[in-house]
Amino acid sequence: MIRAAVLCLSALLLGCSNSQKIDPSRQVGPNPLLPKINEPVLLPRTVVPAVVGWKRGETPTVPPGFRVEAMATSLASPRNVYALPNGDILAVLALKESKEPVERLKNPFFDLIFGFAHSASQVGPTNRIVLLRDSNGDGKPELQSVLLDHLNSPFGVVLVGNQLYVAETDKIVRYPFTPGQTQIASPGQKLVDLPAGLINHHWTKSLTASPDGSKLYVGVGSNSNAGERGPEAETNRAAIWEVDAKTGGFSVFASGLRNPNGLNFYPGSNVLWAVVNERDELGNNLVPDYLTSIRPKGFYGWPWSYYGQHVDPRVRPQHPELVARAIMPDYALTSHVAPLGLAFYTSTSFPALFRGGAFVGEHGSWNRAELNGYKVAFIRFAGGRPVGKPMTFVSGFLNSAGKIRGRPVGLTVDRTGALIIADDVGNAVWRVSYSGR
């Protein structure tokens, strides 16, 4: 009843937000089609399917020759996964624990709408890291244990030597850890505080380490959609930080990135890559989310411009000198797919086509009339750069009626070369292996 009333209200308030039909295939690659900005409406177009979850026997869909199976189920909102060198998989379970204060008419409306998209049944405690041990690599863990508990909305995790770094929403904590352990009893040591607070719009903090392990890189999303909360709310946000792994000293490595996630170095290089969630409320086909390499001290436009030097007229005051510096991303993923996971494939168990390419976890749209994302995409690389069109690699997260079974988030590749997927709405961790020609 409440859902029907909200959807009815939204239909009255949304107006005719950017209704131009554009084939999503024209919004992928290095030069996406970018339509004209329409006049803003009172509330942006909002289409969020109901959540139904996975029924017994249902799984995502993968290409012929591949096999997908549940590695773990009944987990409370697994948001990220990380493969340890001994074969263990860490599943990071997390939920945002507080709502933003009501500053605009849109806030309670969005809270209710987003609740529909994450309303899978609660299956147990969250904000913890669970270890899955599959010693023989058959995809069926013989051990599941709680490695760390009572965390503050964790997301990023990376192992450097015998130190496990965990990015919670408000800090990075370092724990002594040796692969093979199934629990961490140490309280850990805070390395550095991260922007959080009462208003914590993008709360996930992606994390990786430099190839030599001396530096950490953490994604800190913006505190707003397009800077509407003012510059003070965005201090050191919409950025990727570089953090000294020993001292915690940090600097802003790159900025103008609305919500950078999936931080990873391209294999065999010192080039950092990320997937970025761009701004909303400009219509169905603006702005394309993207995959890009990250230049040291690079500026990528947010909030003053998008996709390079395309000015966002909503942002005041304008800063043309900053727009002139804005870097165009490497590869568009189409509008509103909400990419949150990135994994480069370096194993040999998948066919040669996949080696060196990128898997992207697309959590799925809300600010679009026709649903977009809700899949794991694959993008081929050549010479260390993305090429060609993306391939839908894992789908079926929406059922035939367009309702949500699950939503892919973080990705990793296990010791056997299988792709591991965190599904936060389906409360599952999926494993995709290759068994055919």
Q: Given pLDDT bands bounded at 50, 70 and 90, which one contains residue 91?
A: very high
| pLDDT above 60 (res 285) | yes
Whether 411 shows a pLDDT value over 50: the answer reads: yes
- Which pLDDT score is estimated for 12? 39
Q: What pLDDT is recorded for position 9?
A: 43
Of all residues in the chain, the percent with pLDDT exceeding 70 is 88
The answer to whether residue 107 scores a pLDDT higher than 70 is no
Specify the pLDDT at position 436: 81
- pTM for the model: 0.92
Q: Where are the beta strands (DSSP E) in 94-202?
A: 128-133, 143-148, 156-160, 163-167, 171-176, 189-193
Q: How many whole angstroms separate alpha carbon 432 and alpha carbon 197?
A: 38
Residue 275 tokens, joined: 């997937």
Q: Is the pLDDT of residue 168 over 60?
A: yes
Task: Say yes or no to pLDDT of 7 above 50.
Answer: no
pLDDT higher than threshold 90 for residue 47: no
Q: How many other CB atoms are there within 10 angstroms of residue 181's CB atom?
A: 18
Q: 5-14, 16-25, 355-364 — which is least confidently predicted?
A: 5-14
Q: Tell me what the mean pLDDT of segment 211-229 comes to.
A: 97
pLDDT recorded at residue 21: 80
Give me the half-sphere count of Cα atoms (radius 13 Å) on the Cβ side of residue 315. Answer: 22
- What number of CA atoms fall less than 13 Å from residue 355's CA on the CB side? 7
> 263 and 217 in contact (C-beta within 8 Å)?
yes
Handedness of CA 125, 128, 134, 137 (dihedral sign): positive
Supply the DSSP symbol for 86.
T
Average pLDDT over residues 196-215: 96
pLDDT digits (tens, 9 = 90+) for 171-185: 999 999 999 999 999
Which three-class secondary structure string do you get for 321-386? Answer: HHHCCCCCCCEEEEECCCEEEEEECCCCCCCHHHCCCEEEEECCCCCCCCCCCCEEEEECEECCEE
Q: Which of 5-9, 44-48, 91-95, 289-293 has the lowest mean pLDDT?
A: 5-9
Whether the pLDDT of residue 13 is over 80: the answer is: no
The predicted pLDDT at position 103 comes to: 60
Give the pLDDT of residue 15.
41
Taking residues 192-214, what's their average pLDDT?
96
Binned at pLDDT 50, 70 and 90, residue 6 comes out as very low
Q: pLDDT digits over 337-371, tens only? A: 999 999 999 999 999 999 999 999 999 998 888 89
Record the tokens describing residue 402, joined without a space: 């367009």
Q: Is the pLDDT of residue 42 over 80?
A: no
Cα–Cα distance, 360 to 232 (Å, whole number) = 32
Cis peptide before 287 (omega within 30 of 0): yes
Q: What is the mean pLDDT of the chain?
A: 91
